């Protein structure tokens, strides 16, 4: 898997041979970051269910100011840390190993972008959105980006956040949420 654009374009992230993750495809990553455009410049991002870290690394490659990663698998956390060292961005990032829900409840930071790509069979996607909302992890003009199956029914609106855009790519859907003003 390679970084698609920016200052680290072409850098390969090699997944462990025994990995069972479903990384966001190159096509979807390119489409996502083309949609975000210059908004990513100097922004902060949280990459939940980070897997290989490709989304967060893409953000750093496009000049995000800081990216934090949450990943349960210690081997994938090691891979993310190794990639951050290779691109000399360890000082702009934090890799948090453990359960996403537990870590989200403990965070004290706010982010411009929160990207969540839980496993397709993960049943608590709306709970993730709700925790982000309750813990006020999103900056006022920020957005949550949720990757999920395109045939999956996820709420359009929670208490203070709403879905404002949807992009479908085959069996994958990217839903964009923002705070309700």
What value does the mean pLDDT take over residues 26-50?
Answer: 94
Is 17 within the bounds of a domain?
Answer: no
Query: Across the beta sheet with 93-97, what order do the strands follow?
Result: 93-97, 66-71, 44-48, 111-116, 138-149, 172-179, 161-169
- Look at residue 98 and tell me if it is in a domain: yes
The 10 Å Cβ neighbour count of residue 42 is 11
pLDDT-derived band at 154 (thresholds 50, 70, 90) equals confident
Q: Does the structure show a pLDDT above 70 at 131?
A: yes
Do 144 and 129 touch, CB atoms closer than 8 A?
A: yes
Of 162 and 103, the structure prediction assigns the larger pLDDT to: 103
Q: How confident is the model at residue 156 (pLDDT cuts 50, 70, 90)?
A: low
Query: Does residue 103 form part of some domain?
Result: yes
Whole-structure pTM value: 0.93
pLDDT mean over 94-104? 96
Question: Does residue 133 fall inside a structural domain?
Answer: yes
Number of domains in the chain: 1
What value does the mean pLDDT take over residues 41-53? 96
pLDDT tier at 157, thresholds 50, 70, 90? low
Say what percent of the chain tops pLDDT 70: 99
For residue 161, give the CATH number of its domain: 3.40.50.150
Give domain status of residue 7, yes or no. no
Average pLDDT over residues 12-39: 84
d(CA 181, CA 162): 10
pLDDT score recorded for residue 12: 85
Q: What is the mean pLDDT of residues 68-88?
A: 94
- Determine the structural domain holding residue 107 and report its residue range: 26-179
Residue 52 token pair: 């290989």
Mean pLDDT across 81-101:
94
Q: DSSP letters of 38-70?
A: GGGTT-EEEEET-TT-HHHHHHHHTT-SEEEEE
* pLDDT confidence of residue 35: 92
Lowest mean pLDDT among 13-17, 43-47, 118-122, 129-133: 13-17
Mean of the pLDDT values across residues 30-47? Answer: 94
Q: Distance between CA atoms of 181 and 173, rounded to whole angstroms? A: 25
As a whole number of angstroms, the distance between CA 120 and CA 167 comes to 17
Q: Is 10 among the domain residues? A: no
Would 58 be classed as within a structural domain? Answer: yes
Using 50, 70 and 90 to split pLDDT, how confident is the model at 23?
confident
Q: Would you say residue 1 lies in a domain?
A: no
């Amino acid at each position: 898997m390679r970084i698609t654009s920016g200052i680290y374009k072409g850098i390969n992230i090699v997944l462990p041979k025994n990995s069972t993750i479903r990384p966001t495809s190159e096509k979807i990553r390119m489409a996502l970051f083309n949609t975000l455009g210059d908004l990513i410049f100097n922004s902060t991002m949280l990459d939940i269910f980070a897997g290989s870290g490709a989304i967060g690394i893409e953000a750093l490659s496009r000049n995000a100011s800081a990216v934090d990663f949450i990943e349960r698998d210690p081997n994938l956390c090691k891979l993310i840390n190794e990639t951050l060292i290779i691109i000399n961005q360890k000082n702009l990032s934090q890799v948090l190993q453990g359960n996403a829900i537990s870590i989200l409840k403990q965070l004290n930071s706010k982010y411009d972008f929160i990207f969540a790509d839980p496993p397709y069979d993960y049943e608590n996607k709306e709970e993730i959105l709700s925790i982000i909302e309750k813990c006020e992890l999103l900056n006022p003009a920020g957005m949550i980006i949720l990757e999920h199956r395109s045939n999956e029914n996820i709420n359009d609106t929670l208490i203070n956040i709403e879905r404002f855009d949807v992009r479908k790519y085959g069996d994958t859907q990217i839903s964009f949420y923002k705070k309700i003003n």
